[in-house]
Structure formats: C-alpha cells, structure tokens
Amino acid sequence: MLARFASRRFFASYEMITSEKLDNVGLITLNRPKALNSLCAQLIDELTACLSEYDSDPSVKAMVLTGSKKAFAAGADIKEMSVKDNVTTYKENFITSWDKIAQTRKPLIAAVNGYALGGGCEVAMMCDIILAGDKAQFGQPEIKLGTIPGAGGTQRLVRAIGKSRAMELVLTGDFISAEEACQKGLVSRVVPEDKVVEEAIEVAKKIASFSSPIVMMAKECVNEAFESSLRNGLLFERRLFHSTFGFKDRKEGMEAFLERRNPEFKDE
C-alpha cells in the first residue's frame, strides 16, 4: 500500500508503536493488536516520545498517526485503570501526559480505521485532521463503565459537533459510523479503509510541501479559535499574519506567484 512512498527509515526503539519516515512525513502506528491498541501508560509514553522526536526533527514537516484495520484505539487500558483510586489518580496526575499529543507544533493527521472509542476517540480529536476509513466507528462509551471521559472527550467533542450531539454520545455511550462522524463534523472525510493511511500520507505530504514555520503558525491560529473569543482570535491571527512578512518564505511565495512559477520554500 505504501510502496510508492520513497525514503522509508524505520525506528526500532519502541515496543507498542512503530514509526518510520516517508520522505518528510513521520508515520506512527499504534501496535498493541491483541489489546485492540488500548492506550496503556507505556504506549502513551512511547507515542508522546516519538511525536516529540518528530516535532524537533527539521526533516519531518508533518505526521500521521494510525492503528490497525480493526482498531485505531479501542480506548484506555481498562485493566490498568481498574486498580486505581482517586488519591492515586490525583497524585499521578493520571492521563495528563496525553495532552502532549495535542501540543505538537507540526500538523498531526489521524488515519482512523475500526474502533476509535473512549480514549481512542479522544486521541483522534487531539490530532489536527481526522481521515476515517469507511468502516470506522467513533464513540465515548465511558458512561457504561461508571466514569466519564477524562482526556478531552466532553470538551473537544462539543467543539467538534455541538452540544446536543456531543451530549447524546457522552450520555448514551453509543457509537457512530464514519459517515455519521463526517456529517456531524468530527472527521474531515471518509475514504475506503484500505486507502485511509495512504490518503493521510498524501495530505501530510501536501502540507509538508509548504513553509514549515508558516504551517505551524496557521495551525496555531486555527487552534486559537477553539480556545478564545472571536475578538481575541482575530487579534491573534492578525499579529501572526503580520509576522509572516518577516519570513523569506513569504517573500518567495508571493514572488513565485507573480512570476508564475512554483515557490521554493526553505523554512526561513
């Protein structure tokens, strides 16, 4: 499926994920097949470490996160959670480290097949773009376990699909299909399940063809819209827009447009 992508370089230092570089795109695959990629502490530690590595690697300009055809991630590791109490979770600041996924500066695309439930849905929502295979399912079924979402499920879901729809999913624990998720605005688009990773890499490569610092600024601005008022968001956007005029890539992009040629961005 990925044979036509050149410059593959594999990293073998992880046990519960695999990672490889495809030219200037970092591909990370969750790899706990027997547990449907349930999100235990070790997996999250490895994932955030790998994301940090790619985020600081100047040769990587965008990232793709995926799982298996059966499950992107079926949720947090229930066995690991079941033995904890409230004192332990508070002292450990349990699952706060998951926030590092959303804090990547470079674009992160989720390529989702199969189940994206509970923590799996939350991790997908931490990504910047979600592409879903046509058999994917999304949901926040924590209510069925006597708890609630704890990694942003009640917050990001509301911002993605609205209060009433989010409330229904959180309070019933029901799943929705990829098509429903797309219609509600949770995912960007739906593609055949055997093409979703390839399509996500294509999107990542397109993003990676632009100026990396400008891409990161654009990502900051869109995220600011989630977290501020319109007035503050507009001011934030305008200040970053003004700052792009100090970049050589902005000058190159506009000159290339006027000269009717393709720009040659140098991340400067």
pLDDT given for residue 4 in this prediction: 54
Q: pLDDT of 3-44, one tens digit each?
A: 555 555 555 589 999 999 999 999 999 999 999 999 999 999
User: For the chain, what are the domain ranges?
Assistant: 8-208, 212-258
Residue 218 designated active-site? no
pLDDT given for residue 2 in this prediction: 56
Residue 256 designated active-site? no
Judging by DSSP bridges, how do beta strands 115-117 and 137-139 pair with one another? parallel
Q: pLDDT of 156-201, one tens digit each?
A: 999 999 999 999 999 999 999 999 999 999 999 999 999 999 999 9
For 212-258, CATH number out of 1.20.140.10, 3.90.1150.10, 3.40.50.720, 1.10.12.10 equals 1.10.12.10
Query: Which one of 26, 67, 119, 152 is the catalytic residue?
Result: 119
Residue 76 designated active-site? yes
Query: Which one of 67, 73, 118, 122 is the catalytic residue?
Result: 122
* Backbone CA torsion sign across 103, 104, 107, 112: negative
Residue 101 has pLDDT above 90, yes or no: yes
Query: Which one of 71, 74, 76, 111 is the catalytic residue?
Result: 76
Q: pLDDT of 248-264, one tens digit each?
A: 999 999 999 999 999 99
Report the top-level CATH class of 8-208: alpha beta
Q: For the residues 217-231, what does the mean pLDDT come to? A: 93
Residue 119 designated active-site? yes
